[in-house]
Structure 1
Amino acid sequence: MLIGLIRHGLTDWNAVGRIQGQSDIPLNDEGRRQAEVLGDRLLQEPYQWDYCITSSLSRAAETGEIIAGKLNIPLLEPDQRIRERAYGQVEGLTALERETKWGKDWNLLELGQESDEQLQLRGLAFLEDLTVRYPDKNVLVVSHGGFLAQLYTALYKDKYTERIGNLSLTILEKKELDWNPLLYNCTRHLLQNQR
């Protein structure tokens, strides 16, 4: 079994550095173009994908619709477990606004945000469920940067710590009990198709 983990395309809030969390911010035109480019890349690669599943937030859902349409594969029902971290009072704020309001260590304060542990638990539960439901299938999963970073931490501890890019692709292969990374946080399709 292969899982292709994708971060959704660019939004206006991404572009200005606002934390989106579970606020339902749509893709912008650049985000839609990015999804088209990744769909084109996936058509050229040797992996065959059977399904696509997304978070229920529109930026991930639209990214998945574009990619699934390009690949002509079914789009499964969205899954709440792969939504972005809930950021509470911090959602909608830029780094400067967060630091002005709460200081540089704002992330250590209790501001209604979901903990790393909560995010990791729902990520691992989602992976386990996917393995049970589609053991012989290859599934594309369109989710969010904060969620994916915590899922990788849960799977690999501190081996992977770089920021997860918009429309990045990570491919994991299930081997017995382990998820082996075949590709990590790759955005070469965006670099090759810049306008």
Structure 2
Amino acid sequence: MTTKLYLMRHGQTRFNQQNRIQGASDSPLTAVGIEQALAARAYFDSKAITFDRIYSSTQERACDTAELASGRTDYIRLKGLKEMDFGAFEGQQEFLNPPLQKDIGYGDYFVTYGGESSLAVRARMGEAVRQIVSENEGKTVLVVSHGGAIAQFYRGVLKNPPQVRMRNCAILEFDVADGQFNLLTIYDPVNHLVLYDRISGEHPDALLTF
């Protein structure tokens, strides 16, 4: 039996707007972020997509996005869906981040500064999402999380993960059956752009640079 999983990043926040590192720390959605979440809702409505259950990270930016994108408040909050903890770098300017490593992200860099490793985030996200799927077999589920956490998740479950920049409110559509995650598309509902599909691969405008 196939479970339909929509895994979505939150909308733009104040820290996103200010180019600040935002992981364990939180900041509210901006007016743009609210509009982005509403654009996601319009996309779901246009496709007649309804959700049997909705999950969110416990962080405010994800919770607010989940409510706006679904029009519902009966979602389940899970700590396992939180963003990576950047330790002492939280709230600092993004230019202080080290270069990304292909398929690994930031590796163990932030552990020295009280944060998490990329593989630790991958493990807890994988555990959280797999538990969600096991509890919702054959259903349609929305999960709202964070850019770094989502990237670590799909790097852990896909053999050839896409190298796509995870835009605010980007939506990843998976079919999940027998424990296998099949990524169908990554869609940007704000700009009406398919960032990735399993046939043609990544859109040039969506690629990460390393």
Q: TM-score, normalised by structure 2?
A: 0.80
Deviation, 1:104, is 6.6
Q: Which position in structure 2 is the counterpart of 1:126?
A: 128
Partners of 1:155 and 1:183 lie apart in 2 by 15
Do 2:13 and 2:29's aligned partners in 1 also have CA atoms closer than 8 Å?
yes
CA distance in structure 2 between the partners assigned to 1:60 and 1:147 by the alignment: 12
Q: What SS does structure 2 have at the residue aligned with 1:18?
A: coil
Deviation at 1:119, TM superposition (A): 0.6
Superposed CA offset, 1:130-165 (max 9, x none): 122111211100100010010011112552122211
> Structure 2, unaligned stretches of length 5 or more?
101-105, 194-210
**Would you say 1:89 and 2:98 are equivalent positions?**
no
Offset of residue 77 of structure 1: 2.1
2:201 aligned residue: none
- Counterparts of residues 89-168 of structure 1 (less than 5 Å): 89-96=88-95, 98=96, 108=109, 110-157=112-159, 159-168=161-170
> What residue is the counterpart of 2:46 in the other structure?
44
Q: Determine if contact 1:50/1:74 at 8 Å carries over to the other structure.
A: no
- Structure with the larger strand share: 2
Task: State whether residues 64 and 75 of structure 1, in contact with CA within 8 Å, keep that contact through their aligned partners in structure 2.
Answer: no
Distance in 2 of aligned mates of 1:116 and 1:141: 20
Report how many aligned residue pairs link the two structures: 183
Amino acid at match of 1:132: S
CA-to-partner distance for each residue in 1:103-144, whole Å, 9 max, x for gaps?
779x53621221111111111111221122111211100100
Distance 1:74 1:26 in 2: 17
Aligned-partner Cα distance in 2 for 1:53–1:94: 30
Distance 2:42 2:131 in 1: 29
Q: How does 1:44-63 map to 2 (within 5 A)?
A: 44-63=46-65
Three-state SS of the structure 1 residue aligned to 2:190 is helix
Moved over 6 A (4+): none
Map of 1:26 onto structure 2 = 28
CA positional deviation for 1:46: 4.6
Q: Which blocks of at least 5 consecutive residues in structure 1 are unaligned? A: none
Q: Partner amino acid for 2:154? A: Y
In the aligned structure 2, how far is the partner of 1:127 from the partner of 1:54?
11
TM normalised by structure 1 equals: 0.86
> Which residue does 1:181 correspond to in 2?
183
Alpha-carbon separation, structure 2, partners of 1:52 and 1:131: 12
Matching of residue 190 in structure 1 with residue 190 in structure 2: yes
Cα pair distance change 1:125/1:104, threshold 3 Å? closer
Which deviates more, 7-16 or 128-137? Answer: 128-137
Question: What secondary structure sits across from 1:61 in the alignment?
Answer: helix
Cα distance between partner residues in 1 of 2:63 and 2:114: 25
**Structure 1 counterpart of 2:75, one-letter code:** L
